[in-house]
Amino acid sequence: MKKMKKTTILTLALICLTFNLKAQKIKGSDTVLPLSQEAAEEFKKKSPSSSVSVTGGGSGVGISALMSGTTDIAQASRKIKFDEKLKIQDAGNSVKEIIIALDALSVVVHPSNKVTKLTREQLEGIFTGKITNWKEVGGEDLKIVPYSRETSSGTYEFFKESVLKNKNYKSGIMSLPATGAIIQSVSQTKGAIGYVGFAYLNTKVKSINISYDKGKTYVIPNVTNVKNKTYPIVRPLYYYYLTKNASKVKSFVDYVLSPDGQKIVTEVGYITIK
Amino acid sequence: MNPIKRISERFIEGIFKMSSMVTSIVILLIVVFLFKEGMGLFSSPIVESGYGLYLNTTNPVSDLSFTQIKQIYDGEIDNWKTVGGKDEVIELFRFDDIFSIYSDEELGENYEFLPEKLNQVITDKSNIIAFLPYKYAPKQSSFVKEISKENIGIREFLLGKEWLPTTTPSPLFGIVPLILGTLLVSFFAILFALPLGLGVAIYISEIASSKIRRIIKPAIELLAGIPSVVYGFFGLTVLVPIVQKVGNLTVGETAFTGSLILAIMALPTIISISEDALRNTPLSLREASYALGATQWQTIYKVVIPFAGSGISTAAILGIGRAIGETMAVLMVTGNGAVIPHSLFESVRTIPATIAAELGEAPSGGAHYQALFLLGCVLFLITLCFSIISEYISKKQSSKIA
């Protein structure tokens, strides 16, 4: 089985080599996917001799593909885990990390909800199931319905880490397979609360101001606040590649970090690093 | 006969034989693969593989259960007294915390000082519980002790009431809420779909004129061709708000909504199979019935339906099979909360939805991955049961008629 895998990989690699010496593969997070795709297309226009193929699957999928050598760049919406890094080191490689953009998570509620601000502690209480009614956080007497993403998403992990301080979500929390579904459900459920990437915000839902200092200051999620780092729920989006492949992927990574590339970042709805 | 013709016939026969053999072998292999992957779960340790829990040696606690570990890391238990230790506040330590205490330089280039530093941390604090990888964990001989290395048990899997596959340090793989969710949704789906489907089938086969039949039948069969994700989308944007408003519920994503969508999806199967069965009733039987002075309704009720009984049961069971295995539509409308359902108007999580939603990111070969395969096995066994029941019923029926 293993041998077969190896031979398939080898043949695939050979095919790729013969077809196009400059072909690069990017794989991983679905959050970064639209950005990479857009960048790959623009990059191809600039240097027609090279080709970049982009696939999704999730941050974990991308990083394990990097380990097995089936991708050149792993795109991730979370930092590489220690044991993943270790596995790469055990194989005699080292990994290089590049932050390509920032993404903020907005906490959203139904537009009719009177609550406009919440502290991190209150959010933790809501998503771990300790706070169950909106009147406990200054709203009307209405049951809170928290919506979460599925466990496979990087967004789920990041929210858990940043807002819940690694505590577990309440057992039996409603979990939806996509950001679009969260927006849809929150917009049609009065007591709902959910979290979505900043880029997906629209007028069907209302975003909440967040405080990470126990209620002293509440911050609105907008581009300025994310850039000057006052908005707390921000995550970097990463590219990972093996240092031995650096020369191969350099031109593309440089392109993404260049002013042109960062313009795409804004277009796709994320926040530039500079 | 022409020898060339004979050879070519043999050849075609051979091809048919081959294809049937290949199909059977492939199916068998899939089943074997499913069970092989799934059974691996029971040899996985409770605590995430490659990691262990460590305490200070002065701590009298020597064993922590599944739920205790979870409650400690969720902050529900915050004193060692609760789990049989001293009256001390529990201090949580996660592996990544070490990197905020010491810089990379202090830990060494290849992390060679890591075990030492970890040991330091654990020795310094008598109230600590640390979640660390074995590889860097301080050796047992030092001031720490390791707890709970036992494997995940079959009982915990089959009777566990909580499905929390990604919690650290100890994931919970209890499938009771998932099985109940699946069965609840499918059962009510069939409860809604069967009377309706049967009614339509009777109308098409017995009452409708051939002109109407020619329009209705293809229309219903078209229903089967709609991709399930489209049904899911329809459910999420149309059915969910309706259910919420009509039932005056806090949420619209409920088992009931799932049942409705599945009922719609199971209708074509139920209608076309039971309609075929009804139409297969011999004309002689009908004529005999009319000759005895029975009305049309009496004929349908006393002659046609009993004769088509086995076909109708097959339709129902195939409909259930369709409902149990349906993934995408259910994933989108039931809310996927993994709780044991107490009513039809609560969010449920079904087995196929769980597999579809979680397999993408489950690290291949890990406990979560194996648990998902085992869920696949459970699903397979459930549908197998239904197939056997349907086979049994149709055999019994046909022998009765004969």
Q: What is the pLDDT of residues B26-37, one digit of tens each?
A: 999 999 998 988
Angle at A103 (CA atoms; ends A101, A108), nearest 5 degrees: 165
The conformation of residue B348, written as its DSSP 8-state character, comes to B
Give chain B's mean pLDDT.
83
When comparing pLDDT for B55 and B174, which is higher? B174
* CA distance to partner chain A, nearest, from residue B349 (Å): 9
Other C-beta atoms lying within 10 Å of the C-beta of residue B368? 21
Which B positions 11-50 lie with beta carbon below 8 A of chain A? 50
Judging contacts by C-beta atoms under 8 Å, the chain A residues touching residue B162 are: 171
Q: Give the mean pLDDT of B398-402.
A: 59
Residues B126, B79 share a domain: yes
* CA distance to partner chain A, nearest, from residue B240 (Å): 9
pLDDT recorded at residue B361: 67
Domain assignment present for residue B289? The answer is yes
Q: What is the pLDDT of residues A29-54, one digit of tens each?
A: 888 888 999 899 989 888 888 888 99
CA distance B114 to B112: 6
Find the closest chain B residue to A127 by CA distance.
B74
When comparing pLDDT for B367 and B176, which is higher? B176
Is the pLDDT at B281 greater than 90, yes or no?
A: no
Residues A179, A87 share a domain: no
Domain final residue, candidates B119, B153, B187: B153
pLDDT recorded at residue B183: 92
Which residue shows structure tokens 């009319």? B290
Q: What is the pLDDT of residues A180-189, one digit of tens each?
A: 888 988 998 8
For residue B141, give the 3-state DSSP assignment.
coil
Is the pLDDT at A6 greater than 70, yes or no?
A: no
Confidence band of B143 (pLDDT split at 50, 70, 90): very low
Domain assignment present for residue B207? The answer is yes
Domain assignment present for residue B25? The answer is no
Instruction: Compute the residue count for chain A.
Output: 274
Measured over the CA atoms of residue A23, residue A26, residue A27 and residue A32, the dihedral's sign is negative
Residues B304, B356 share a domain: yes
Is the pLDDT at B395 greater than 90, yes or no?
A: no
Return the CATH number at B59. 3.40.190.10
pLDDT recorded at residue A61: 78
Q: Give the mean pLDDT of B156-167.
A: 82
Find the closest chain B residue to A192 by CA distance.
B251
Confidence band of B190 (pLDDT split at 50, 70, 90): very high
Do the Cβ atoms of B167 and A168 come within 8 Å? yes
Least Cα distance to B180 among A172, A178, A175, A156 occurs for: A172
Provide the CA B194 distance to its chain's centre, in angstroms: 23
Return the CATH number at A7. 3.40.190.10
> Which element (helix H / strand E) includes B383?
helix B367-401
Judging contacts by C-beta atoms under 8 Å, the chain B residues touching residue A171 are: 162, 164, 338-339
User: CB-CB: which of B70, B110, B332 is closest to A177?
Assistant: B332
Measured over the CA atoms of residue A266, residue A269, residue A273 and residue A274, the dihedral's sign is positive
Provide the CA B221 distance to its chain's centre, in angstroms: 27
Residues B184, B146 share a domain: no
Q: What is the pLDDT of residues B209-241, one digit of tens each?
A: 889 999 988 898 888 888 888 998 899 889 998
Residues A45, A89 share a domain: yes
CB contact set of B285 (below 8 Å; sequence gap of 6+):
B303, B304, B307
Do the Cβ atoms of B177 and A128 come within 8 Å? no
Torsion angle of the four alpha carbons A77, A81, A85, A88, in this order, in degrees rounded to the nearest 10:
-70
Interface of A with B (CB under 8 A): 57-61, 64, 82-83, 86, 89, 128, 142-143, 145, 150-153, 166-168, 171-177, 181, 184-185, 188-192
Tokens of A54: 């982009």
What is the per-residue burial (b if ≥16 Cβ within 10 Å, else e) of A84-108?
bbbebeeeeeebeebebbbbbbbbb
Instruction: Please give the C-alpha separations between residue B169 and each of B122, B164, B373, in angstroms, as whole numbers.
Output: 17, 11, 21
Choose the mutation target among A30, A165, A171, A193 for the interface with B, i.e. most B CBs under 10 Å.
A171
Residues A218, A114 share a domain: yes
Residues B189, B91 share a domain: no
Tokens of B228: 């399930």
Domain assignment present for residue A121? The answer is yes
Residue B313's φ and ψ, nearest 5 degrees, are -65, -40
Provide the CA B130 distance to its chain's centre, in angstroms: 34
CA distance A26 to A61: 11
* CA distance to partner chain B, nearest, from residue A181 (Å): 8
Question: B368 lies in which domain range?
Answer: 176-401
Domain assignment present for residue B21? The answer is no
Residues A54, A93 share a domain: yes
Domain assignment present for residue B170? The answer is no
Residues B189, B290 share a domain: yes
Torsion angle of the four alpha carbons A159, A162, A165, A170, in this order, in degrees rounded to the nearest 10:
-10
- Work out the widest C-alpha separation in chain B, in whole angstroms: 99
DSSP code string of A15-29? HHHHH-TT-EEEEE-
Q: Give the mean pLDDT of B68-97.
A: 79
pLDDT recorded at residue B46: 65
pLDDT recorded at residue B55: 80
Find the closest chain A residue to B237 by CA distance.
A184
- Please tell me the pTM assigned to this model: 0.78
**CB of A172 within 8 A of CB of B337?**
yes
Q: What is the pLDDT of residues B312-321, one digit of tens each?
A: 888 888 888 8
B240 touches A: beta carbon within 8 Å? yes
**CB of A240 within 8 A of CB of A64?**
no
CA distance A79 to A237: 8
Residues B148, B213 share a domain: no
Q: Give the mean pLDDT of B331-337.
A: 87
Q: What is the pLDDT of residues A71-95, one digit of tens each?
A: 899 998 888 877 778 778 878 888 8
Tokens of A24: 């690069």
Residues A10, A44 share a domain: yes
Q: Which amino acid is at A57?
A: G
Domain assignment present for residue A149? The answer is yes
Q: Tally the domains of chain B.
A: 2
* CA distance to partner chain A, nearest, from residue B134 (Å): 11
* CA distance to partner chain B, nearest, from residue A183 (Å): 11
pLDDT recorded at residue B261: 93
Confidence band of B369 (pLDDT split at 50, 70, 90): confident
Q: Give the mean pLDDT of B80-91.
A: 80
Question: A257 lies in which domain range?
Answer: 2-100+237-268
Judging contacts by C-beta atoms under 8 Å, the chain B residues touching residue A141 are: none
Least Cα distance to A237 among A199, A209, A206 occurs for: A199
User: CB-CB: which of B96, B164, B331 is closest to A168?
Assistant: B164
Residues A119, A222 share a domain: yes
Residues B198, B138 share a domain: no
Residues A219, A147 share a domain: yes
Is the pLDDT at B106 greater than 90, yes or no?
A: no
Residues B284, B225 share a domain: yes
* CA distance to partner chain A, nearest, from residue B401 (Å): 49
Domain assignment present for residue A7? The answer is yes
pLDDT recorded at residue B145: 55
When comparing pLDDT for A78 and A26, which is higher? A26
Do the Cβ atoms of A174 and B75 come within 8 Å? no
Which residue shows structure tokens 């050598």? A69
Choose the mutation target among B67, B92, B162, B166 for the interface with A, i.e. most A CBs under 10 Å.
B166
Residue A240's φ and ψ, nearest 5 degrees, are -120, 140
When comparing pLDDT for B9 and A61, which is higher? B9
Domain assignment present for residue A274? The answer is no
Residues A143, A189 share a domain: yes
Find the closest chain A residue to B361 by CA distance.
A152
Domain assignment present for residue A195? The answer is yes
Q: Tally the domains of chain A.
A: 2
B130 touches A: beta carbon within 8 Å? no
Residues A257, A166 share a domain: no
User: CB-CB: which of A82, A168, A188 is closest to B252?
Assistant: A188
Residue B105's φ and ψ, nearest 5 degrees, are -65, -45
Is the pLDDT at B199 greater than 90, yes or no?
A: yes
Confidence band of B130 (pLDDT split at 50, 70, 90): confident
Domain assignment present for residue B169? The answer is no
Among A254-258, B248-252, B301-305, which is the least confidently predicted range? B248-252
Residues B223, B95 share a domain: no
pLDDT recorded at residue B364: 64
CA distance B223 to B260: 15
Among A11-20, B52-61, B135-144, B175-184, which is the least confidently predicted range? A11-20
| Pairing outcome for strands A73-76 and A192-197 | unpaired
B109 touches A: beta carbon within 8 Å? no
User: CB-CB: which of B50, B94, B358 is closest to A83?
Assistant: B50
Tokens of B36: 């092989």
Q: Give the mean pLDDT of A202-215.
A: 89
Judging contacts by C-beta atoms under 8 Å, the chain B residues touching residue A89 are: 110
pLDDT recorded at residue B54: 80
Strand partners, B380: none
| Pairing outcome for strands A24-28 and A192-197 | unpaired
SS3 content of chain B, % helix, strand, coil (to 5): 65, 5, 25
pLDDT recorded at residue B350: 92
Give chain A's mean pLDDT.
84
Domain assignment present for residue B13? The answer is no
* CA distance to partner chain B, nearest, from residue A245 (Å): 21
* CA distance to partner chain B, nearest, from residue A260 (Å): 32
Domain assignment present for residue A71? The answer is yes
pLDDT recorded at residue B142: 46
Domain assignment present for residue A273? The answer is no
Residues B384, B339 share a domain: yes
> Which element (helix H / strand E) includes B82?
none
Residues B288, B185 share a domain: yes
When comparing pLDDT for B334 and B117, which is higher? B334
Is the pLDDT at A110 greater than 60, yes or no?
A: yes
Please give the ipTM for the structure prediction: 0.73
Residues A149, A58 share a domain: no
Q: Give the mean pLDDT of B124-149.
A: 67
Q: Which of A28-37, A117-126, A244-253 has the highest mean pLDDT?
A: A117-126
Residues B208, B139 share a domain: no
**CB of B53 within 8 A of CB of B69?**
yes
Tokens of A165: 């301080």
Torsion-angle region of residue B106: left (phi > 0), alpha (psi -120 to 50) or beta? alpha
Tokens of A157: 């992990």
User: CB-CB: which of B50, B336, B356 is closest to A174?
Assistant: B336
pLDDT recorded at residue A19: 47
Domain assignment present for residue A232? The answer is no
What is the per-residue burial (b if ≥16 Cβ within 10 Å, else e) of B175-212?
bbbbbbbbbbbbebbbebbbeebbebbbebbbebeeee
pLDDT recorded at residue B50: 65
Residues A169, A94 share a domain: no
Domain assignment present for residue B39? The answer is no
Q: What is the pLDDT of residues B234-278, one digit of tens each?
A: 998 899 989 988 888 888 889 999 999 999 999 998 998 999 889
pLDDT recorded at residue B381: 92
Return the CATH number at B228. 1.10.3720.10
pLDDT recorded at residue B230: 92
Is the pLDDT at B402 greater than 60, yes or no?
A: no
CA distance B377 to B380: 5
